[in-house]
Structure 1
Amino acid sequence: MNRILIAEDEERIASFVEKGLRANGFVTTVAADGDTAFDYACTGSFDLIVLDIGLPGRDGFTVLREMRESRVTAPVIVLTARDSVRDTVAGLEGGADDWMTKPFRFEELLARVRLRLRTAARTPEVTVLRSGDLSLDLRTRQARAGTTVVDLTAREFVMLEFFLRHPGQVLSREQILSHVWGYDFDPGSNIVDVYVRALRKKLGAARVETARGMGYRLAVSTRAPS
């Protein structure tokens, strides 16, 4: 199980990233300032670091430079509100492995986290997710329910991927909102229910089950693809 350090002083964003990563099976630790982030990073306990540039204490550029000088080799994904080529180059030359500008969608961060962890571990990429006779090709973005090819919208695709990565697990509306729509979602919205209905219509009503008062889960089928 991969351990990820989240160095972010904005509580709302730190919570958003932490909840999303934990929902996807990662173990997380949050550091709210640069000094704490540097101390944590130097323990060597983390497989990846999500690092905000605008940290109090040591700023992100300083943390990154001193981490690399201290031979901390964990991949680093930098988060910043700055959107300039100069800052991007400075971060990458300082030892960052990737760079994301705020605001960002969690699905994009998650994809980059997985990519950097795969690269670091040199593990093969999973391109097709399956549960029984339901499958989703991540490259072609094509779903199959039994022998039927299903066309999905961009949001439906992200939602189905989330369900397929957690078959049988109850996912709350908040988790789904955060993953699919990002941290600027309206918690009072019924958009999750609307999209679940759309998935049921396309995949079959029994594919996504309601856990009353808790959320939704992908029904686990024992049928193999035909």
Structure 2
Amino acid sequence: MTRVLVVEDDPPIGSELVQALVGGGYQVSLAATGGGALEQARQSEPDLVLLDLGLPDVDGVLVCRRLRAVLPQAVIVVLTARTQEFEVVVALDAGADDYLTKPFRLTELLARLRAHLRRQSPPRQERSVSVGRLSLDLLARRVLIAGDEVVLRPKEFDLLAVLACHAGEVVTREELMDQVWDVNWFGPTKTLDVHVFALRRKLGDYGEDPRRITTVRGRGYRYEADL
């Protein structure tokens, strides 16, 4: 049974989330503070974490970063009332895989969780792919740029792998959502744009030109084979 940790300090919201998840067949634990979340994460090793960013004891972004260190393979979805895009990017950089802005519908939340849990395999079965200075080992899920290993979050790796496997070709937004998230993805695709933004910045941090990932207006994105 999939284990879910809900981190929410508002009792009515926390109770509603727990009831919905238990009804969906998940094994659920609840924490109301950042400290409690980290303690439970170490004890129960959840497969998935729902993390409210507005916690009473520790900033939610810091909790997210610490949870990612404790749970490198878990799916972390942040729940936030913060609507500024840079705040969402900070949470994604801290290790979150996705976010939902409050208020949200429980049906959308449950659909997203199912989508994330289904996406646990590499987008292609080839062992490796190389484009210029970039090399990806798809089975080991490692990325190298000119021999230096790049640290990426799971969705960032999946996104880069799809683009690199189709280097020089346009990959539509729909195809990226299908392959990186899920064919039955429920909700807006803004999370794709945020992940592309974060991925470009990380490539730049390792000396790769962020323009390698080109936006093709009205279509999607292309990883440039030559630049």
Output the TM-score relative to the length of structure 1: 0.52
Partner of 2:98: 98
Q: Is the 8 A contact 1:51 1:77 kept in 2?
A: yes
How far off its partner does 1:71 sit? 5.0
Output the CA distance in 2 between the equivalents of 1:40 and 1:121.
27
- Contact 1:8/1:33 (8 A) holds in 2: yes
Find the aligned partners of 2:27 and 2:40 in 1 and give their Cα distance. Answer: 14
User: Hey, what's the Cα distance between the residues in 1 that align with 2:23 and 2:59?
Assistant: 28
* Cross-structure match for 1:81: 81
Runs (5+) with no aligned partner, structure 1? 123-137, 140-226
Instruction: Find the aligned partners of 2:19 and 2:57 in 1 and give their Cα distance.
Output: 25
Q: How many residues align?
A: 124
Q: Distance in 1 between matches of 2:34 and 2:69?
A: 15
Q: Is the 8 A contact 2:5 2:28 kept in 1?
A: yes
Quote the Cα distance in structure 2 between the aligned partners of 1:55 and 1:107: 24
Of all paired residues, the percent bearing the same amino acid is 41
Aligned to 1:13: 13
Moved more, 68-77 or 31-40: 68-77
Q: State how far apart, in whole Å, the 1-side matches of 2:44 and 2:14 are.
A: 21
Q: Counterpart of 2:43 in 1: which secondary structure?
A: coil
Separation of aligned partners in 2, 1:49 and 1:78: 8
Q: Distance in 2 between matches of 1:121 and 1:24?
A: 23
Please identify runs of 4+ aligned residues in structure 1 that moved more than 4 A: none
Which amino acid in the other structure matches residue 116 of structure 1?
Answer: H
The 1:25/1:71 distance shift into structure 2, 3 A limit, reads closer
Summarize deviations over 1:89-118 as a string: whole Å, max 9, x none. 111111100100111000000011111111
Check conservation: 2:45, 2:71, Cα contact below 8 A. Answer: no
Give the TM-score of the pair, scaled to structure 2. Answer: 0.51
List alignment gaps of at least 5 residues for structure 2: 123-182, 185-227
Contact 2:5 2:49 in 1 (8 A): yes
